[in-house]
Chains A and B, each alone.
Chain A
Amino acid sequence: MRRWFCCFAVGLWACGPATQDTLSRDAGPPLAQDAGSQGPIAPPLPEVPAACEAELQRFSRTVHIPIASRLCIACHNEDGAASGSRLQLLGSDREGYLAHNWQALGQLGALRLGNDPVLLLRASGLHPEGHPGGALVPPSTPDYEVLAGFITDAMDPACNVPEQTTPECEAPPYGPAVLRRLTHLEYQYSVEAALQRPVLNEPALAADRVVDGFSNQADQLTVNALLADQYRTHAEDLGRELSTRLDEILPCSPAGELQDECKVLFIRDFGLRAFRRPLSSADVQRYEQLFDDTSQGDFASGVQWVVTAMLQSPHFLYRSEVGLADGQGRRQLDGFEIASQLAYFLTASPPDELLMEAARAGRLIDPEERIRQARRLAGSRRGQAALVRFFESWLDLGRLSTVPKDPGTYAGFNAQVRQSMQAETARFIAEVMWSGSGRLPELLSAPYSFADETLRSYYQPLPWQAPDAAGWSKSVDPSRHVGLLSQGGLLSVHAHANDASPIHRGKLVRERLLCQPLMPPPTGVSVELPALDPELTTRERYAAHSELEPCRSCHRLIDPIGFGFEAFDGAGRFAPLHAGEPVDASGEIVDSLDTDGRFEGLRGLAELLAGSSEVHRCFSNRLQRYAYGLSAHAGLACAEVEAYRTFADGDLQVEALIWSIVGSEHLTTRTATASEG
């Protein structure tokens, strides 16, 4: 029996057995063996010299915290699912863990199969015995490069670690040329802009892939068969409808001899709005031809089918960020491509008239002009809504409208409350952004929030101030209100249907605020949640889970953070007492880069997070990925460093970060494809 359990991977997956030759399911958790073996008789592991303290510290920062502690230790520890394997690691609460883990990983790095380190072969799944665990660390991803670098270091721990901790970036601060299919919301706004009227019946559109909460990632946005058909029927509906209202859509009168002229005018006019750029003469010709083929003398019919086609055209459905090669390894985007980036990032809509004018005049190549335009767009109603949507994606709040809640447990949590909670978060963000400091720390820890009439009654008595004109009352109370973290919507989404959940909440903080993705529980381990018991607090029920193996090795990263939410129930209400006694909402962050520490209550947690450069950097990366629609693997490491620096230098103002993104070189320049040199 050979099993390989483990744990180098990104994203969601679990450890698993390589073969199925054993294990009746009643036999309990399986044991793993031979993590680094190459055959029936495992060769001895090579010696690796001991590392010095400076080298260990670097190992901790670059390999141990970001990779090993999250992805490996869960299985590869003495009580874990892979306790029988040759990769044995110690948790960071054990004495001498760094030196031990350096050795353990270094030995597998020194062990070769052919020319390749077994550690890399296993991690990437390229080992002949495979790695059945799931999404791996493929060659050329950042994590893979880190592991490869570690192996070189482990061979030669000369302790000549450079003093400088943030190496200068040498890669260009811009990414690849891409076509970005419109998100479903961008599609809706783009249709409305082309038609110059609202679309009342939202079409059904097949769900897109969501990465880290974001549904706008360019490499995930494709057109599959169902979506193509949905685009088609919607375009046909709109074309048909529009052809009955020619006077509204035509820029000219198609009477008599003017018909041909009007046809071209219409194609240019509608095309400009649909394609977000002026049409070329080849474009016009193509659509003239279609007009003639489909109209058969009926002008309205020609209009109908031109509209139908333009709304299915790749020039409409995709945002072009492609540009032209400049012969020096770069592509330069044109003004209209830049305008679309600004407009969709900041408003989810196509460029407006002023932006198109700036594009036409070639002014958007200038970062200052882009920032001027961005200020205007961000301040608009749609701009403010778009920023709120970023926060909703980042913290997974979009599911609030559908997340199931048990009415027996949470009386009063109805559709109206869900809507009001969503509005509360938007209201809170608006307050911080437009009336408050606009800084990330205030978003994370502000001692106030808002309630409309529905929420005032749902949340029960709080020192609500008199409502403003829109019906919102403010309440200030530093233990009840803790920025985004105590928002009713966030607390309701990150909980069970009938229970609060320290796991959901700890995971949210770990993955979305610290940018440390976790993996699901290892296979073969029973993962039943503690039963509901009115006698016990949530923390008491979950205690075993965070204290006993095999759960502990991962849940020590999660639950002690989640316990900070102990005073809030699973549906957004404040519940600081249990059976008349104050609940214990103390907790701890461990195994982070620079956020470790004990804290008291949600406020204590929020203050740790708000002051952490790790959280600031995580936020800056997420906002940039959202803006660019590109993942961590798109060669943007240097652009991310640049954005973070501007953010930190800008006193952690969210707007400073936005202007930095808008002014960045990525908006105007891309790397050329290989054939272009």
Chain B
Amino acid sequence: MVFYSPTGTVHRHWRPDSDPTQLRFVAGSVLEPLAGLEEHLTVLDGLNYAGVASHDRGMLHMLTGGPDPLSETRGASLDQFVADHVGGASRMASLQLGVQTSELGATMQSRMSYRRAGVMVSPNDDPRDAHRRIFADLGEDTLALYAKRRSVLDLVRGELNSLKPRLGTKEQMKLDAHLEALRASEQGFTPLSTGAQCGFHPAAVTFDPSLNDNFPQVGRAQMDLMVAALACDLTRVASLQWSYASSATVLTHLGLSEAYHTLSHSDDGNAQGVADYLTGQRWYAEQFAYLVGRLRDLPEPGASGSMLDHSIVLWMTELGDSRLHECTDVPVVIAGRASGQLAGGRYLRFQGQPHNRLLTSICRAMGLSNLGFGDASTGTGLLEGLLV
């Protein structure tokens, strides 16, 4: 699972106590709201998005490791690459949810998921629409319904294919992307057998998800949907994106009056600005703690332990130091033990290693065997010392 919050951090206020074997959060720090969850957490410091800087480049590299179409992962993002390997039997190969990510439309700053180099995946910003899609066809005669849907799809596919010979390469690629999208849609023609029984069916929300003041409510609704979709085994891979890289969101419910991105540039000389930014940073940590706590409290179906014990929840952001637009020392927190592959309770520092190794290690923990992730020239192999 991927959890994204925007703009990097201020390291001084983010770093845990320096003991690598005993994770402890500093009072008043960004990560303090995670106190009590330490045994489930691994905090990673000193990873770089190698060779890049700025909001949009950071965003592009964060989950792709560099959009190299000739690489082993072909510019796909971590969630999509993993979903292609573990998501086959679920109703949704992967689920992307967002919280007001699209004010600027789909841009490099507002998208973190890629099918492959250059092909963005949109998060669903509307919990009402997401709810409907996740729990679709409940109580329908799905056998007959799906047969009709497939007839329609076959016809549409035939039309798309018959248009292609008259078109140039660029337009053909457009139609190929459309055909690929239809395949993903078709994967949803899977009866909701478990969904009806697994006991999670969060109430549909009624508020306007695009209004700034509803930001926290939208986030909460999306997290609940995400947990339900996972608990009901409707998907194995999910992501939640809060806002977008240069976030114009004003966290008004915290009493703040400036855009999060503006606050993120507060210099050390601006005590109030830094304090306001930290208020927002800590709030995102609380949201992460909420999500992790929900997973901790749910039993893993068919296994011992909690869902969290058998998951990886990766908290990422597109920058390191928020003030300097750099992608060095990006702050990363992992929750979950991946069925025993992560020890938990540790604070690891990597001295400038490329985060491609983190992405590769997560693939390994998910049972994949790729040797690298993204641009191989920045570093292949695993992140030494992360997996048990």
Binding site for B on A (CB under 8 A): 12-21, 23, 25, 130, 132, 134, 176-179, 181, 203-204, 206-210, 215, 219, 222-230, 232-233, 236, 286-287, 290, 293-294, 305, 308-309, 312-315, 322, 399, 402-404, 406, 408-409, 496-498, 520-529, 531, 673-674
Given known A-B contacts A16-B52, A286-B155, A523-B324, A496 and B126 have beta carbons under 8 A apart = no
Give every chain A residue within 8 A of B163 (Cβ-Cβ).
179, 314
Give every chain A residue within 8 A of B51 (Cβ-Cβ).
16-20, 130, 132
Distance to closest chain A CB from B211 (angstroms) = 7
Q: How far is the CA of A176 from the CA of B167 in the complex (A)?
A: 10
Distance to closest chain B CB from A229 (angstroms) = 5
Contact size range, B = 35 or more
24 contacts between A and B (CB under 8 A): A14-B53, A16-B57, A20-B352, A25-B11, A25-B320, A134-B54, A134-B57, A177-B168, A203-B129, A224-B177, A224-B181, A227-B181, A228-B178, A229-B133, A309-B151, A314-B163, A497-B259, A497-B262, A498-B258, A524-B325, A526-B265, A526-B323, A528-B265, A531-B273
Contact yes or no, B102 A207, CB < 8 A? yes
Give every chain B residue within 8 A of A497 (Cβ-Cβ).
248, 250, 257-259, 262
Q: Does B318 contact A (CB under 8 A)?
A: no
A21, A176, A402: residue with the most chain B Cβ atoms closer than 10 Å:
A402
Interface string of B148-192 (1 = CB under 8 A from A): 110110011011100100111111001101101110110010000
Give every chain A residue within 8 A of B158 (Cβ-Cβ).
286
Consensus secondary structure, chain A interface: loop
Given known A-B contacts A204-B128, A309-B156, A322 and B167 have beta carbons under 8 A apart = yes
Contact yes or no, A178 B175, CB < 8 A? no
Q: Does B212 contact A (CB under 8 A)?
A: yes
Q: Does B108 contact A (CB under 8 A)?
A: yes
Q: Which of A290, A521, A526 contacts B151 (CB 8 A)?
A: A290
Interface string of B83-96 (1 = CB under 8 A from A): 00000000000001
Q: Does B42 contact A (CB under 8 A)?
A: no
Contact yes or no, A523 B326, CB < 8 A? yes
Give every chain B residue within 8 A of A130 (Cβ-Cβ).
51
Q: How far is the CA of A15 from the CA of B148 in the complex (A)?
A: 53
Contact yes or no, B129 A230, CB < 8 A? yes
Contact yes or no, A305 B328, CB < 8 A? no
Q: Does B2 contact A (CB under 8 A)?
A: no
Q: Which of A21, A520, A526 contacts B267 (CB 8 A)?
A: A526
Q: Does B294 contact A (CB under 8 A)?
A: no
Contact yes or no, B212 A528, CB < 8 A? no
Give every chain A residue within 8 A of B7 (Cβ-Cβ).
none
Contact yes or no, B108 A12, CB < 8 A? yes
Give every chain A residue within 8 A of B125 (Cβ-Cβ).
204, 207
Distance to closest chain B CB from A58 (angstroms) = 33
Interface string of B31-53 (1 = CB under 8 A from A): 00000000000000000101111
Q: How far is the CA of A233 from the CA of B136 in the complex (A)?
A: 10
Give every chain A residue within 8 A of B197 (Cβ-Cβ).
none
B48, B52, B167: residue with the most chain A Cβ atoms closer than 10 Å:
B52
Q: Which residue of A lies closest to B181 (CB)?
A: A228
Q: Which of B126, B257, B352 contacts A21 (CB 8 A)?
A: B352
Contact yes or no, B324 A524, CB < 8 A? yes
Contact yes or no, B152 A312, CB < 8 A? yes
Q: How far is the CA of A610 from the CA of B178 in the complex (A)?
A: 44
Given known contacts A404-B248, A674-B168, what 4 new A-B pairs fall within 8 Å (CB)? A132-B52, A179-B167, A313-B159, A404-B249
Q: Which of A19, A305, A528 contacts B270 (CB 8 A)?
A: A528
Give every chain B residue within 8 A of A208 (Cβ-Cβ).
105-106
Q: Does B306 contact A (CB under 8 A)?
A: no
Q: Which of A215, A402, A527 contacts B212 (CB 8 A)?
A: A402
Give every chain B residue within 8 A of A232 (Cβ-Cβ).
149, 185
Distance to closest chain A CB from B295 (angstroms) = 24
Q: Which of B121, B128, B148 contacts A294 (CB 8 A)?
A: B148
Give every chain A residue within 8 A of B279 (Cβ-Cβ).
none
